[in-house]
Amino acid sequence: MHRFRLFASAAVVGLLATACASDPPTEAAATTSAPTTSSVAPEPETPETTETQELVETTATTAAPATTTSTAPPRVPSAVDLARTPVDVELIASVDNPVAVIVGPNGTDLWVAEQTGRVVRLPGGEGPAVADVGVDLRGQVSGASEQGLLGIALSPDAGHLFTNHTDPGGTTVVSSWAVDGNAVDASTMTEVLRVEQPAGNHNGGHVLFDPDGHLWVGLGDGGGGGDPWEHGQNPDTLLGSMLRFAVDGGAISVPPDNPFVDGGGADEVAVWGVRNPWRFSFDAATGDLWIADVGQNRFEEITVLRRGGEVLGANLGWNLREGDDAFLGGAEPDGHASPYVDYPQTGGRCSITGGEVYRGSDIPSLDGAYIFSDFCTGELLAVAAEGDSEIVALDGPAVSQPTSFGLDADGELLVLGKPGGVFRIVPG
Cα torsion 226, 227, 229, 232: sign: negative
Predicted confidence band at 71 (pLDDT cuts at 50, 70, 90)?
Answer: low
Give the integer Cα–Cα distance in Å for 322 and 352. Answer: 13
Domains of the chain, first to last: 94-352+405-410 (2.120.10.30)
Q: pLDDT tens digit string along 274-318?
A: 999 999 999 999 999 999 999 999 999 999 999 999 999 999 999
DSSP for residue 396: S
Predicted confidence band at 44 (pLDDT cuts at 50, 70, 90)?
Answer: very low
Q: What is the mean pLDDT of the chain?
A: 87
Q: pLDDT tens digit string along 112-131?
A: 999 999 999 999 999 999 99
At 258 the pLDDT is 98
Predicted confidence band at 66 (pLDDT cuts at 50, 70, 90)?
Answer: very low
DSSP 119-153: EEEEGGG-SS-B--SS-B-TTSS--STT-SEEEEE
Evaluate if residue 56 carries a pLDDT over 90.
no
> Within the chain, what is the greatest distance between any pair of CA atoms?
55
Contacts made by residues 57-60, CB under 8 angstroms, sequence distance 24+: 57/190, 57/192, 57/251, 58/192, 58/193, 58/245, 58/251, 58/252, 58/253, 59/251, 59/253, 60/246, 60/247, 60/248, 60/249, 60/251, 60/252, 60/253
DSSP for residue 317: -
Beta carbons of 207 and 195 less than 8 angstroms apart? no
Give the integer Cα–Cα distance in Å for 6 and 15. Answer: 19
Q: pLDDT tens digit string along 79-108?
A: 999 999 999 999 999 999 999 999 999 999
Beta carbons of 125 and 109 less than 8 angstroms apart? yes
At 351 the pLDDT is 98
What are the angstrom distances between the C-alpha of 166 and each of 194, 202, 214, 349? 9, 11, 22, 27
At 1 the pLDDT is 55
- Report the number of secondary-structure helices (H) and strands (E) in the chain: 1, 28
Which amino acid, 233? Q
Residue 186 has φ and ψ, to the nearest 5°, of -60, -25
Higher pLDDT, 379 or 40: 379
Alpha-helical segments (H) within 27-128: 79-83
Predicted confidence band at 17 (pLDDT cuts at 50, 70, 90)?
Answer: very low
